[in-house]
Structure 1
Amino acid sequence: MGLGSTAGNPCAERGFGRTVLHRVLPTFVFFVSFFLLALSHPAAAQDYRFNSVRVEGNQRIEAATVVSYAAIARGKSVSAGELNDAYQRILGSGLFETVELTPRGGTLVISVTEYPTINVINFEGNRRIKDEDLAKIVESTSRQVFNPAKAERDANTIATAYSQQGRVAATVTPRIIRRTDNRVDLIFEIAEGSTIEVERVSFVGNRVYSDRRLRRVLQTKQANILRAFVRSDTLIEDRIEFDKRVLRDFYLSRGYVDFRVNSANVEFTRERDAFFLVMDVQEGQQFRFGKITTVSEYPGVDAAAYGDSLKIKSGVVYSPTLVESSIARQERLAIKQGVDFLRVEPRITRNERDLTLDVEFALTKGPRIFVERIDIEGNTTTLDRVVRQQFRIAEGDPFNPREIRASAERIRALGFFEKADVEAREGTSKEQVIIDVNVEEKPTGSLNLGGSYSVNDGFGVAIGLTENNFLGRGQRLSFTFSTAEDAESYVLGFTEPFLLGRELRFDLDMGFSQTDSSYSAFDTQRAFFSPALTFRLAEISTLNVHYSWDGSEMKSRDTPIHGPVIGSEIAQGGVTTSGLGFTYTYDSRLTGLDPNSGVLFEVGADYAGLGGDSEYIRTKAKAIAQTKIMNEEVTLRATFEAGALNWMGNTNSRTLDRFSLTSDIMRGFEPLGMGPRDLSPDASGVAYDDGLGGNLYAVARFEADFPLGLPEELGLRGGVFLDVGNLWDLSNVNTAAAASTCGPAGTSSCIVGADGAWRSVIGISFLWSTGLGPLRFNFSRAISKESFDKEQTFDLTLQAKF
């Protein structure tokens, strides 16, 4: 790829074929002329004196401009070397295709041929990158002087853009077509080539973690069968550099402080149609925390209180993240106590014998520097206050470099900006700093088209419109429409993350839904309105307080197939519910001390009775514990979930109000397939068999996910699970509506399962991470159940966006 490569090219006569000749021939003539002059006039060949300079051949460029480039003084002695320097300066200006300097007595004649003007710039052969996108990255522009060197750089830039998409074989050749009036059309002929993918990613030197585990860390992926939908399997140089960093972060967070990437080699396959990426790593030894101490070198500050605030303990696997979070915790404590300019300096002592790192947190007094102001630039849409809200300091506060870095990360995490640079510079005095925030905005709206499939609801389509930075205020506004064969919903959502300028999130959701499921004996319609406030209680715990209004109705189908209990609930017509509730959440799975283990605890309660037709207290609790074993190849997870409904109103509760165990709570059964049922007979003596739900439930789920040993590019993993659960209690249900006797014997009640019974289900899962979304197959079998339960041995779910 080059401007001089025109051999065998039919476009050579269009301009580039004579470029080298035009440059070399004048120089050759120039030196030959001086050589002949030197032979005939040996003394004069070394010294010239010009009284005038004449410029010939220029059309657009003023003669004075050419003379200024030559810089030949009139009436002064000029050597042959100085004439050559003048020639090089004129040619180096990039304005002229050819330059000749000819001495004629006392006159220096400068003959030039100007480069043509670019008429238009066209791109040919490009399909993957649009013309307007290519026009943004090239230097050459219309109505500018054509410059071959610049065109060559543009060709390289375009080729680089294609290599970023994995098309490293793309070639770009610049051509020109000469027009009248010394104009040219600049054409970039592009041969995109095929995408060259990463066929295999492998590692050398890793002993603790397998190649499969490390590949999950990298952003670069191996090519898989869905490569048409995935671009992460193409080779991008910047991505490899990013992979090196995340791989190092992965090992450092697990105590391997000496880890390093020796090299990342990329090789073509023998057929030269794919790449092999081989990373040579050195893991080193795993270190743990040794002694954790805090000392004070700040007068008047007691180290004991700061030491008590630390969460890390001896014996925990060392992680720089834990050290950073401990420093931030102690500095926040200093701010809370009104101690200004306190800095925490970690001093680490390495113990090779027992592979521990002693950490001493030294409380020191930092320089007395204040924040003069915060300048924000580049935000054309986003309001300044949205960026300022990410800072925990304001003008006039003590300067804390660690807090500035944390603020920069929060700004980037907003997702509003292509890039966000936060730097501190000296202010109007040495005791003050100015914080510069330079951002580059990116589109924040999205249109999501999705599809889903489940055994219960069938195929569905979801359309979502979301604006995450509504009117530049940092607010989220969304509308989602989803429909399946048996259910559809319309939901409008709004979120203000900083209500009243505080770290207080406000959510508002409202919508309408209806179902027509073959698994229930009735249809439903529901409209809801729910505002909520969420605020942080501690680092990994939050409290959500919400109000909800709900209007719902159970509706009979055209051909009634329900029993008397469901019939009495349908007869209630539309029912409104108004109430308050809260949800407390503690989640250490992402920010806890151990990156491989974590727990989630969630408990909430809702009181309905602030107007409306219903009055009850509903409580729910969930606890999840998970860990990774066998070098993080296998994930173990245990979940316990329970709920209770205490009906307090004068009316009877409905199936819609009670709990029903769907497949995301208890696998192996149809919706309303386990728990209390109404087996009242119809006129012909056949039982209706209606699921009624229950007021109480408890479920324990145990599962393990593991690799199947198949090629990782397939994205398939396996799993096994055991679910144990119970759903019972029909207090405040109109059971009197049911028939008093059932079956030929006529001696037993038609309501069964109200006293509850424990069910258990075992099963296997196949999890497929496809380019369209996660696909999960569940095959289950109930090992203990009641005779009236409705088992579901297979379940398939797919969630996709495209």
Structure 2
Amino acid sequence: MNTLPRAEARTKVVENSWLRHYLIGFFILITALFLLLPAAATAQNYQFSSISVEGNQRIESSAIETYAGIKRGQTVNAGELNSAYQRVLASGLFESVELTPRGGTLAIKVVEYPTINLVRFEGNARLKDEALYGIIESEPRRVLNPTIAERDATNIATAYAQAGRLSARITPRIIRRSDNRADLIFEIFEGGVVEVERVSFVGNEEFSDRRLRRVLGTKQAGILRRLIQQDTFVVDRVEFDKQVLRDFYLSRGYVDFRTVGVNAELARERDGYFVSFNIQEGQQFKFGQITATSEIAAADPEEYLDALKIKPGVVYTPSLVESSIARLENLAIKQGLDFVRVDPRITRNERDLTLDVEFAIVRGPRIFIERIDIEGNTTTLDRVIRHQFRAVEGDPFNPREIRESAERIRALGFFENAEVNAREGSSPDSVVVDVDVVEQPTGSLSFGGTYSTNDGIGLVVRFAETNFLGRGQALSLSFSTASEINDYVFSFTEPAFLGRDLAAGFRLSFQEADTDEVRFANTVGEFRPSIEFPVSDYGRLNLRYTAQNVEMEIDSSEAIAGSIIDAEAARSDIWKSSLGYTYTYDTRRKGLDVNRGILLELSQDFGGLGGDYEFIRTSGKAVAETRVFHEEITLRASLEGGALYSPNKDSRVNDRFNIRSQQMRGFEPYGIGPREIGVSATQDDALGGNYFAVARFEAEFPLGLPEEYGIDGGIFFDIGSVWGLDQTSANVLYEDFSLRQVIGFSLFWETPVGPMRFNFSKALKKEQFDKEQNFDFTLEARF
């Protein structure tokens, strides 16, 4: 083995050691340079004596320099150059941006987005172009921004989701044109409707699923699902349903009701939703002790207590409390007391499930209304909105009255949205009431059809404008024709005549009737001006004048000499001039009990103020209805009657009362009452009567069918009579009072095109020549 001498080996070790140290030092130096170079680059500063802009065609160079924000002679670093780049790019006008320092010059090179030549939709059928244009931001002659186009596609998809088409896909396409223009095309795949297959409830014990489903806006898909729009799943509608469920239960005394949650599950096939509401009903509370106290010396609590309509034992509802507060505050105003507030103090009695309510009359803060500002009403006049306020500038401020005014504004139906808010005015003791509205169309043109077994098939055309010229006035023109009756009606109503709660208007009508039930034809022209105003919480009074021309004709081929009707027709046309009134008292919609209500109506017309015919015509109606068995069954009882007095004994058949199917089922029009038989072999003339009286008793109930079908049943019992004549003869039958009785069964079908009703009846008691009608069918459609 060869070995180096010891001295030489030692020399080699030293050399290797120096080489190793040299390599390590070189590596450290290179690493330090790499670390220091970026810091040096970052720290580099620039100063530009000039700025050049390249590639811009529509955008001015000065505008691009403004976006960049770098001034000539300004010292900037690389970070500030990057910020300038981001600002120019964020303007949304350019596809690409480059900033390049060239000595003392900053070069900005841009590529502009094209201008939108046109916006088009392809593949849409359910939502029309006009509706889609209203929800996108992209417009022709504006710069095409892909971010905005994508946002537009999202908005279109949201609109389809609102219509129940959750699988809709929207793809924006850009087609380049010359001169840096482009067409923006939204390709739309609408997909199918995702329906609500089932709506169910968990936790409801008092009310059935069927009853609660009738409250909701969301409906289950039924046999007419293609015509019903409420059976699609919409998230916002579910939120609305939660609120109406709460209102439903609160109005029935369930003060602790709450919706714990709503579960909406998509079916495996993704073509339907199963919606389940998890609710807690709580206990039903009734009003307990009702008291009134006063912290104001001038307000006698006993007097205020006497003004209340609430009685202990009535099912609790917040609307009754609110109406009672309004009643007491109005009483304070009548007594000349300002800044009075009524504070309801409620005490729960868990043992007997009652709520004691103490109405405390207290002094509110001295705050005045400085002014009422109205915005957003481009068509509706300010005075129409101001009329909904019971207070004006300078009056004491009442928060409850402002809330009620907001509800009255929304109830007009003129606005898509109406917000009423109060803010501090120019001083701490004043407020400014802001009214912000969004208007919506108030005119409508409708076409429809009717059918009944009596009048046959009819066509209905109606134009209506509920906010005529922005004045809040109602204008309508309708034309309806059936096989036997033609009606033409024009009406106009000013709901705030003289700035008060006084509805004034007029009605012009013309009717031609030639029915198979009688031998004569009627032509009636009428002009009726009227005024109507409230006289109590539930009562209204209508005052009217009526000018009427009635022409009665009999075809010569059907004339019967010596008959009563022929003698009446010989008088040809007759002018009637009368004054009349109708008083109506109705608690069926807003009474003390949501499940009970009554309607009382009394009407009289006094003829003889000019014209050819003197008379007093009186008619009345009383209706009572209630819902029982957890509101599943509706019971209704009606009593209706009338009397005609002719001092000259010269009434005609078209002046007297004739029962129609709406008044008494089971008989044809003119089917009961006095009849003239036997002047000729074929004569059978219904004469009508000076008096009539009918009582109707009916019940409506579910048939056990799925409620989305909208089919319910009913049974009825009607009893009534028509009697009395001014002129008679030996050939007249049934002139005296004689009761008829009818029993029957009804089917009610609420279809998307209108309500249908089928009546099947059988007369239990009738006279020989009465005209019985065992089946009656009506349909009224609007589209």
TM-score by length of 1: 0.90
Alignment of 1:49-448 (within 5 A): 49-52=45-48, 54-55=51-52, 57-60=54-57, 61-63=59-61, 65-66=63-64, 68-70=66-68, 81-102=79-100, 109-448=107-446
Bigger CA drift: 607-616 or 45-54?
45-54
Partner of 1:705: 700
1:642 shift after superposition: 1.2
- Gaps in structure 2 of 5+ consecutive residues: 1-30
Instruction: Tell me if 1:643 matches 2:605.
Output: no
Structure 2 vs 1, CA of residues 392 and 56 (structure 1 numbering), >3 Å: closer, same or farther?
closer
**What is the aligned-residue identity percentage?**
58
Q: Which amino acid aligns with 2:756?
A: L
**Residue number among 659, 677, 684 corresponding to 1:689 in the alignment:** 684
Q: Which amino acid aligns with 1:534?
A: E
Structure 2 vs 1, CA of residues 93 and 783 (structure 1 numbering), >3 Å: closer, same or farther?
same
1:82 shift after superposition: 5.0
Q: Which amino acid aligns with 2:638?
A: T
Q: CA-to-partner distance for each residue in 1:695-731, whole Å, 9 max, x for gaps?
A: 111111000000010111111000000001111112x
1:73 shift after superposition: 7.7
SS of residue matched to 2:214: helix
Structure 2 vs 1, CA of residues 504 and 66 (structure 1 numbering), >3 Å: closer, same or farther?
closer
Structure 2 vs 1, CA of residues 40 and 680 (structure 1 numbering), >3 Å: closer, same or farther?
same
Instruction: Tell me if 1:784 matches 2:765.
Output: yes
Query: Counterparts of 1:602 and 1:754 in 2: how far apart (Å)?
Result: 27
SS of residue matched to 1:635: strand
1:673 shift after superposition: 0.9
Given that 1:208 and 1:631 are in contact with CA atoms closer than 8 Å, whether structure 2 keeps it comes out as yes
Partner of 1:22: none
Partner of 1:741: none
Q: Which amino acid aligns with 1:417?
A: F
SS of residue matched to 1:612: coil
Given that 1:48 and 1:77 are in contact with CA atoms closer than 8 Å, whether structure 2 keeps it comes out as no
Structure 2 vs 1, CA of residues 576 and 103 (structure 1 numbering), >3 Å: closer, same or farther?
closer
SS of residue matched to 2:134: helix
SS of residue matched to 1:50: strand
Query: Counterparts of 1:475 and 1:782 in 2: how far apart (Å)?
Result: 47
Partner of 2:26: none
Bigger CA drift: 271-280 or 636-645?
271-280
Q: Which amino acid aligns with 1:705?
A: E
Query: Counterparts of 2:277 and 2:591 in 1: how far apart (Å)?
Result: 30
Q: CA-to-partner distance for each residue in 1:280-301, whole Å, 9 max, x for gaps?
A: 1111111111111111112321
Instruction: Tell me if 1:723 matches 2:718.
Output: yes
Q: Which amino acid aligns with 2:565?
A: I
1:133 shift after superposition: 2.8
Given that 2:583 and 2:601 are in contact with CA atoms closer than 8 Å, whether structure 1 keeps it comes out as yes
Given that 2:93 and 2:143 are in contact with CA atoms closer than 8 Å, whether structure 1 keeps it comes out as yes
Partner of 1:25: none
Given that 2:56 and 2:110 are in contact with CA atoms closer than 8 Å, whether structure 1 keeps it comes out as no
Partner of 1:585: 584
Instruction: Tell me if 1:768 matches 2:749.
Output: yes
1:465 shift after superposition: 1.6
Partner of 1:570: 569
Structure exhibiting the larger radius of gyration computed from Cα positions: 2
- Gaps in structure 1 of 5+ consecutive residues: 1-34, 737-748
Structure 2 vs 1, CA of residues 62 and 524 (structure 1 numbering), >3 Å: closer, same or farther?
closer
SS of residue matched to 2:131: helix
Alignment of 1:738-777 (within 5 A): 749-777=730-758
Bigger CA drift: 210-219 or 81-90?
81-90
1:615 shift after superposition: 1.3
Instruction: Tell me if 1:47 matches 2:43.
Output: yes
1:467 shift after superposition: 1.7
Q: CA-to-partner distance for each residue in 1:72-123, whole Å, 9 max, x for gaps?
A: 6888876655554444444333333234455566766554433333333222
Partner of 1:10: none
1:417 shift after superposition: 1.7
Partner of 1:5: none
**Residue number among 515, 518, 521 corresponding to 2:516 in the alignment:** 518
SS of residue matched to 1:239: helix
Q: Which amino acid aligns with 1:593?
A: L
Given that 1:50 and 1:75 are in contact with CA atoms closer than 8 Å, whether structure 2 keeps it comes out as no
Bigger CA drift: 156-165 or 549-558?
549-558
Query: Counterparts of 1:472 and 1:81 in 2: how far apart (Å)?
Result: 59
Query: Counterparts of 1:72 and 1:652 in 2: how far apart (Å)?
Result: 101
SS of residue matched to 2:655: coil
What's the Cα RMSD here?
2.2
1:46 shift after superposition: 3.2
Q: Which amino acid aligns with 1:256?
A: Y
Q: CA-to-partner distance for each residue in 1:519-564, whole Å, 9 max, x for gaps?
A: 1121111111111111110110011111112211221124216571
Q: Which amino acid aligns with 2:408?
A: R
Query: Counterparts of 1:175 and 1:36 in 2: how far apart (Å)?
Result: 52
Given that 1:99 and 1:111 are in contact with CA atoms closer than 8 Å, whether structure 2 keeps it comes out as yes
1:69 shift after superposition: 4.7
Partner of 1:502: 500
Q: CA-to-partner distance for each residue in 1:208-232, whole Å, 9 max, x for gaps?
A: 1111111111111122222333211
Q: CA-to-partner distance for each residue in 1:116-152, whole Å, 9 max, x for gaps?
A: 3333322222222233332222122233332222111
Query: Counterparts of 2:578 and 2:109 in 1: how far apart (Å)?
Result: 91
Given that 1:564 and 1:680 are in contact with CA atoms closer than 8 Å, whether structure 2 keeps it comes out as no
SS of residue matched to 2:404: helix
Q: Which amino acid aligns with 1:607?
A: F
1:797 shift after superposition: 0.8
Given that 1:548 and 1:578 are in contact with CA atoms closer than 8 Å, whether structure 2 keeps it comes out as yes
Partner of 2:601: 602
TM-score by length of 2: 0.92
Given that 1:50 and 1:107 are in contact with CA atoms closer than 8 Å, whether structure 2 keeps it comes out as no
Q: CA-to-partner distance for each residue in 1:188-211, whole Å, 9 max, x for gaps?
A: 111122222222222111111111
Given that 2:172 and 2:184 are in contact with CA atoms closer than 8 Å, whether structure 1 keeps it comes out as yes
1:345 shift after superposition: 0.8
Given that 1:677 and 1:690 are in contact with CA atoms closer than 8 Å, whether structure 2 keeps it comes out as yes
**Residue number among 667, 670, 673 corresponding to 1:669 in the alignment:** 667
Query: Counterparts of 1:560 and 1:377 in 2: how far apart (Å)?
Result: 66
Bigger CA drift: 773-782 or 160-169?
160-169
Partner of 1:21: none
Given that 1:165 and 1:236 are in contact with CA atoms closer than 8 Å, whether structure 2 keeps it comes out as yes
